[in-house]
Amino acid sequence: MKYVFLTGTNRGLGEAAAKAFTDSRIISITRSSVENTDNIYKAFTMDFNDTDAMEQFVPEIFNSVDPDENDEVYLLNVAGIVDPVKAVSNLSAEEMLTNYKVNVVAPTLLIQGFVNRFKEFGGEKRIVTVTSGAARSPVEGWSVYCSSKAAVNMIHSVLDKENIHQGNNIKSAVFYPGVIDTGMQEVIRASDIEEFPNLDRFKEYKETNKLAKAEDVAAALYKVVTLEDFGSKESYDVKDYI
């Protein structure tokens, strides 16, 4: 049995991922409650902005299952936000911190909880965090989003070294999902062109059907996570698996 700890399960790519992992027990971790609970094994709700609550409750989430050595345990960090979409000159500390908590601190606390719970576990154990092309390419108005995804990429790179040094036998990688037709793209299209000069390009993606369906990206994510040699690369790109 696969036990899949999954964030963002209530909508967008996370919801599609929950449906794609049909052979798995999904342990859902969301802020909002999940409407479609068909294949949800357990559900936890927490706001990733509340880092104190996260530090307190994350161990409980990973202690909620008791896999045996024939089982596999996965952590899929999918939840994320793009806001604030603003020029550096207009950013406030509070909105920067909100993004970094959701995009960097929360996935890292979940990785920490997963490592501490399963480092001695003898079965297969894998971690994937959904990143973005924005981690590698600067986009005007997205300084916080770009830097948050770059941070998560580096956390994975460091984690890989630590896992080897500590003998944890945990495989990890980041996943580049491309542009997906989800709520995040609606947020992007609602941006102020003064803050986000690429606005028209993203509107055109929608108008010309350039956005991938969340189900197709989730199917690619499933392929990646279940690859025989998963973890042999630091990152996987949706275009190679769709």
Ligand X SMILES: NC(=O)c1ccc[n+]([C@@H]2O[C@H](COP(=O)([O-])OP(=O)(O)OC[C@H]3O[C@@H](n4cnc5c(N)ncnc54)[C@H](OP(=O)(O)O)[C@@H]3O)[C@@H](O)[C@H]2O)c1
Stretch 41-60: interaction string toward ligand X, x if CB under 6 A: ------xxx-----------
Contact between 166 and 119 under an 8 Å Cβ cutoff? The reply is yes
Instruction: Select from 147, 153, 172, 185 the one that contacts ligand X (CB under 6 A).
Output: 185
DSSP string of 69-138, one letter each residue:
TTSEEEEEE--------S-GGG--HHHHHHHHIIIIIHHHHHHHHHHHHHTT--SEEEEEEE--GGGTS-
Residue 181: DSSP 8-state: S
What is the residue type of 182? T
Shortest distance in whole angstroms from residue 167 CB to ligand X: 30
Of residues 151, 22, 25, the one with CA closest to residue 6? 25
Stretch 88-127: interaction string toward ligand X, x if CB under 6 A: --------------x-------------------------
Shortest distance in whole angstroms from residue 183 CB to ligand X: 4
Instruction: Select from 42, 169, 183, 203 the one that contacts ligand X (CB under 6 A).
Output: 183
Binding of residue 179 to ligand X (CB under 6 A): yes
Nearer to ligand X, 1 or 139 (CB): 139
Nearer to ligand X, 67 or 177 (CB): 177
Instruction: Select from 27, 61, 111, 184 the one that contacts ligand X (CB under 6 A).
Output: 184
The dihedral through the CA atoms of 149, 104, 16, 219 has a sign that is positive
Shortest distance in whole angstroms from residue 89 CB to ligand X: 24
Shortest distance in whole angstroms from residue 202 CB to ligand X: 9
- Contacting residues for 173 by C-beta, under 8 A, at least 6 apart: 127, 128, 156, 224, 230, 231, 233, 234, 235, 236
Shortest distance in whole angstroms from residue 41 CB to ligand X: 18
Q: Phi, psi at residue 40, to the nearest 5°?
A: -90, 120
Nearer to ligand X, 80 or 84 (CB): 80
Binding of residue 13 to ligand X (CB under 6 A): yes
Return contacts of 157-163, CB within 8 angstroms, 24+ apart: 157/234, 159/111, 159/115, 159/127, 160/234, 163/115
Residue 212: DSSP 8-state: B
Instruction: Select from 132, 143, 147, 168 the one that contacts ligand X (CB under 6 A).
Output: 132
SS3 167: coil
Binding of residue 79 to ligand X (CB under 6 A): yes
The residues of the shown chain that bind ligand X, judged by CB under 6 A, are 8, 10-14, 30-32, 47-49, 78-81, 102, 130, 132, 177, 179-180, 182-185
